[in-house]
Amino acid sequence: MTDIQTYIDLLKSGKTILYPTDTVWGIGCDATNEEACQKIMALKNREEETSFIMLVDSFQMIERYVPEFHEVCYELGDFAVTPLTIIYPNAKNIAPSVLAADGSVGIRITTDPTCIKLIKGLRKPLISTSANLSGKPTPMNYDEISEEIKKGVDGIIEERLKERMSSPSQIIKVETDGTFKIIRE
């Protein structure tokens, strides 16, 4: 197995990786690097209008990219029993292709030790999009990931290769006034 610093260096140099997350296998890159995000979009054959989810290690990191959000976000995060992605309004300082058309961004505070090491080493959010071509089923283990995806990334973290992943995160969209809507349960 390659040292985690190798993958951090890849991310810092604008490369893409395939890695296990706290939900499913993901394709990732530095969320502030537009060129790297575009590489992922091309690899997945993804529509321009589709935004990405970012992984962070804390609410403090979220505050760097979403300077104002309602207090309810902390409560939702504190009480979540499964991985939760919150869509926050008015994001900034991230690659344009990460944002939705309304300027919002989906962010999940990860609990996965490998993801946390990557984020802390990069010192920036990490893109986390499922390791599948657009329109295809989300792979639940490494063997289900297409060869096209495996060959299309710059590095593969070879951990948990036989582990069956859980499922995609729950997604809740929060407005600046604190109202929220469940997008995916």
**Looking at residue 52, which CATH number applies to its domain?**
3.90.870.10
List b or e across 44-55, with b for residues whose CB sees 16 or more CB atoms inside 10 angstroms. bebeeeebbbbb
Number of domains in the chain: 1
How many Cβ atoms are within 10 Å of 42's Cβ, its own excluded? 10
* Residue 137: domain span: 4-184
Per-residue model confidence (pLDDT) at position 175: 82
**Which positions of the chain have pLDDT values less than 50?**
1
Q: For the segment 64-86, what is each residue's pLDDT rounded down to a tens digit?
A: 999 888 788 878 877 787 888 88
Statement: the pTM of the whole predicted model exceeds 0.85: yes
Per-residue model confidence (pLDDT) at position 41: 93
